[in-house]
Chain A
Amino acid sequence: MNNKVSFLTQNFGKYDTSSIDSYMKIGGFSALRKAVKMEGEDIATLIAENKVRGRGGAEYDMGRKWSQARKVPGNNHIIICNADEGETTTFKDRELIKNDPFNLIEAMIIAAYVMRATDGYIYMRAEYACFRPLLLNAIRQAHKYGFLGKNILGIEGFDYEIHLYSGAGAYVCGEGTALIRSIEGKAGRPRMKPPFVKVSGAFARPTCLQNVESLSLVPHLLLDDEKVYQSYGVGDSVGTKMISVGGNVRHPGAFEIPFGTTVRDIIYGLAGGIQGDRKIRLIQFGGASGKIATDDILDTPYTYQDLRAHGVMVGSGALCVVDERTSVIDFLRINQDFFSEESCGQCTPCREGNLHIKIILDKIKAGTATKEDIAVMEKIARVMSMSSLCGLGETAQNTLRSAIEVFPEVFAVGGAEA
């Protein structure tokens, strides 16, 4: 199977990312021109027909999301582009921003047309501050050419501005409500839902929040008359996906693959295999909150359904490959450090749960854990996933819980009853 494609990445390297003229020479903004001649609902339908799922990790049907968002009453909707890519081993959005900034701006304008939005926000993590000038320049030039501002493309009442906001190193700000608070000039602590952001999001206005990759796909889909996108993928996993591969592989990087590529082709083909030809200990899918699998997943096709059947998820599109030099328990400890650091401390299950799981993992590592410790740890993990305020706490123990299933021997404690 051909395992490297360029549908989403078709503009990479084709134009000068600092010049709108250069972008327009390769057909830039023709998707927007086409979009404004269509009904907003038809664009949502087009996305739904291509079975696009949100690429941030929640895998929600994107066409449906747009269709629902535009049905929310009001004429001051907000589009937010989530560029707070904080999941570990995830750097696909970085590549999209770096290599194709104008496409993202165009996508946000199309989204504004569909949702009748008047303001768009790009919320980018502080770690990507080096791309701020690139995006600010793209926004400024789009403004100058009349793609932003008042009466865009001469359409009466189509007014839209894009603002670039910066995060400051908080993983939790990738969560929708926390991100919105950050944009409102507050500390990024998540809030309870409802109200859902689509009804009352940033500044209490209807808000549609999308990942960089999801948005970037829209202009390409609009111009895809020959239905090239649908020719990729298998079954319900249509099209292509950006993935980022890191860890102990020879050639880590971000790649666009058609759905259905096997995990083996990704790791041994695109990423060049394991450093020193060592054995794989485990693979973590979808970042720090992702689940893990052993090398028995290698021949599984990379699709939403097949990965799920194997107990893992596509999530953010990250694959972190860990070789035999790192033990399972060391891996879990490192992963736990991440959550202990990034939990915002607002709700008790997440704040206390992460602390106590860390303590018990240390005990397991030291060989002093009792059966009761293991039972308590499993219970805390379960309670966290059920009762945390936001997605961070709900998913923080995904890795641990899947490790308990995949590597039961690590948690088997003999003797030492409590």
Chain B
Amino acid sequence: MLTEPTQAYPLPDTLREKIDQVLETHDYDYTQIVGILLEVQDLNERHYIPEPVAYYIAYRLDMRVTNVYDIINFYSELSDKPRAKYPIQVCSSIACRVNDSASLAATLKDILSIDFGETTYDGRFTLEKVTCFGACDRAPAVRINGHVYDHLDSRAKIEHLLASLD
């Protein structure tokens, strides 16, 4: 049985209950796996899907765990590696780029002392380069945990944003 490792990786009861609630709102329907994984990912403070959770979901939805991982790896919004408490997604598509999102990215790198794909030592911020998230009329913008923060065209605004998270 491919789902056997669920026994080997027991989940804390509180987490299991929360995952069950998410599954419940999706009627334990495996076709809704993408939406389920998106919600479950946000249950974790580091916004990712740990291996035991992937196995547990596969088990509850009666899927193969390889299929769960196929989905996690295919969709860029899903991650099986720890991200930060505040993953900062910087748009790298054309409308933001011609509105100087390069300066925005450089300022973020400078303030946080990390590069794209890296996490700060305290696990608070990750810098992620993403493609267009549909806020082109508010460029340059970043997206953090689903919220879009727009018109970040000065260092002061960026510092204010980072300080305001928490």
Residues of A within 8 A of B (CB): 85-91, 94, 125-130, 165-171, 182-189, 244-248, 252-254, 284, 288, 320, 322-323, 325-326, 331, 334-335, 337-338, 341-342, 344
- In the complex, what distance in Å separates the CA atom of A213 from the CA atom of B67? 33
- B93 to A184, Cβ gap below 8 A? no
Interface residues of B in 108-165 (CB under 8 A from A): 130-139, 143, 146-147
- B134 to A334, Cβ gap below 8 A? no
Given contacts A246-B95, A247-B98, A338-B93, contact A170 B137 (CB under 8 A): no
- B94 to A91, Cβ gap below 8 A? no
- A252 to B94, Cβ gap below 8 A? no
| Inter-chain contacts of B73 with A (CB < 8 A) | 187
Tell me which of B34, B131, B133, B134 contacts A341 (CB under 8 A): B131
- B92 to A334, Cβ gap below 8 A? yes
Q: A91-B136, A182-B34 are in contact. List 7 more A-B contacts (CB 8 A).
A: A88-B132, A91-B134, A126-B38, A129-B38, A185-B71, A284-B94, A320-B98
| Inter-chain contacts of A88 with B (CB < 8 A) | 93-95, 131-132, 136
Stretch of B5-13, B15-23, B25-33, B80-88 lying at the A interface: B25-33
- In the complex, what distance in Å separates the CA atom of A416 from the CA atom of B138? 43
| Inter-chain contacts of A188 with B (CB < 8 A) | 74-75
- A171 to B131, Cβ gap below 8 A? yes
Question: Considering residues B77, B135, B146, which has the most beta carbons from chain A within 10 angstroms of its beta carbon?
Answer: B77
> Does B78 interact with chain A (Cβ within 8 Å)?
yes
Tell me which of B94, B138, B146 contacts A130 (CB under 8 A): B146
- B136 to A185, Cβ gap below 8 A? no
| Inter-chain contacts of A87 with B (CB < 8 A) | 132
- In the complex, what distance in Å separates the CA atom of A171 from the CA atom of B70? 17
* B68 CB to nearest chain A CB (Å): 10
- A89 to B132, Cβ gap below 8 A? yes
| Inter-chain contacts of A322 with B (CB < 8 A) | 94, 98
> Does B37 interact with chain A (Cβ within 8 Å)?
yes
- A170 to B132, Cβ gap below 8 A? no
- B136 to A89, Cβ gap below 8 A? yes
> Does B14 interact with chain A (Cβ within 8 Å)?
no
> Closest chain A residue to B95 by CB distance?
A246
| Inter-chain contacts of A288 with B (CB < 8 A) | 93-94, 132
- A91 to B135, Cβ gap below 8 A? yes
| Inter-chain contacts of A125 with B (CB < 8 A) | 134
Please list the 7 inter-chain residue pairs (A to B) with the smallest Cβ-Cβ separation, ordered nearest first. A168-B75, A169-B77, A246-B136, A187-B74, A185-B31, A246-B95, A252-B137
- In the complex, what distance in Å separates the CA atom of A187 from the CA atom of B70? 6
Given contacts A165-B32, A185-B33, A247-B94, contact A170 B134 (CB under 8 A): no
Residues of B within 8 A of A (CB): 29-35, 37-38, 63, 67, 70-71, 73-78, 92-95, 97-99, 130-139, 143, 146-147
- B94 to A169, Cβ gap below 8 A? no
* A64 CB to nearest chain B CB (Å): 30
- A169 to B76, Cβ gap below 8 A? yes
- In the complex, what distance in Å separates the CA atom of A356 from the CA atom of B56? 41
- B95 to A320, Cβ gap below 8 A? yes
- A169 to B130, Cβ gap below 8 A? yes
29 A-B pairs within 8 Å (CB atoms) are namely A88-B136, A89-B94, A89-B95, A90-B136, A127-B133, A127-B134, A130-B147, A165-B34, A167-B75, A167-B77, A168-B75, A168-B77, A168-B78, A169-B131, A170-B75, A185-B32, A185-B71, A187-B75, A188-B74, A247-B94, A247-B98, A248-B98, A248-B99, A252-B95, A325-B98, A331-B98, A334-B94, A334-B97, A344-B74
| Inter-chain contacts of B92 with A (CB < 8 A) | 334, 337-338
| Inter-chain contacts of A244 with B (CB < 8 A) | 136-137
Tell me which of B32, B74, B94 contacts A335 (CB under 8 A): B94
Question: Considering residues B71, B93, B139, which has the most beta carbons from chain A within 10 angstroms of its beta carbon?
Answer: B93
Given contacts A187-B75, A331-B94, contact A166 B133 (CB under 8 A): no
| Inter-chain contacts of B29 with A (CB < 8 A) | 185
> Closest chain B residue to A86 by CB distance?
B132
* A42 CB to nearest chain B CB (Å): 34
- In the complex, what distance in Å separates the CA atom of A308 from the CA atom of B137? 26
* A184 CB to nearest chain B CB (Å): 6
- A91 to B38, Cβ gap below 8 A? no
* A350 CB to nearest chain B CB (Å): 15
- In the complex, what distance in Å separates the CA atom of A246 from the CA atom of B93? 11
- A252 to B139, Cβ gap below 8 A? yes
- A326 to B98, Cβ gap below 8 A? yes
| Inter-chain contacts of B97 with A (CB < 8 A) | 326, 334
* A384 CB to nearest chain B CB (Å): 19
| Inter-chain contacts of A91 with B (CB < 8 A) | 134-137
- B98 to A94, Cβ gap below 8 A? no
- In the complex, what distance in Å separates the CA atom of A89 from the CA atom of B31? 30
Question: Considering residues B35, B73, B92, B95, which has the most beta carbons from chain A within 10 angstroms of its beta carbon?
Answer: B95
- B34 to A167, Cβ gap below 8 A? yes
- A127 to B143, Cβ gap below 8 A? yes
- A169 to B75, Cβ gap below 8 A? yes
